[in-house]
Amino acid sequence: MNATTVFASVPAISDQKPEGSFSMLAYEELAKIRMYEAQRSAAEQRMARRLLVCRRWRRIAAWAVARADRVASTMAS
């Protein structure tokens, strides 16, 4: 599930007719909102970690290419 899916699935406070006590329904709605915010935050953190990992592997790959070029030029001499 990507961040776009998480944002699209966040429900607004419902406009349905309450069937129980208002305080319990409000508590449940707030609990749902907190749960969705936690899921969205977790998705954002996963995306940030993936970006950092991608940057790190690109730096490692660039270092490996430069090292291979140095070794190849040393062997050619």
* pLDDT tens per residue, range 10-59: 555 555 565 666 677 888 999 999 999 999 999 999 999 999 999 999 99
The Cα 65–Cα 23 span in angstroms is: 63
The reply to whether 28 falls in a domain is yes
The reply to whether 14 falls in a domain is no
pTM of the model: 0.55
The Cα 9–Cα 56 span in angstroms is: 32
- The domain total for the chain is 1
The reply to whether 62 falls in a domain is yes
Which residues span the domain enclosing 51? 3-9+19-76
The greatest distance separating any two alpha carbons of the chain, rounded to the nearest whole angstrom, comes to 85
Tell me the per-residue pLDDT of 46-64, one tens digit each, with 9 for 90 and over.
999 999 999 999 999 999 9
The Cα 57–Cα 45 span in angstroms is: 18
Structure tokens at 8: 């699209």
The reply to whether 70 falls in a domain is yes
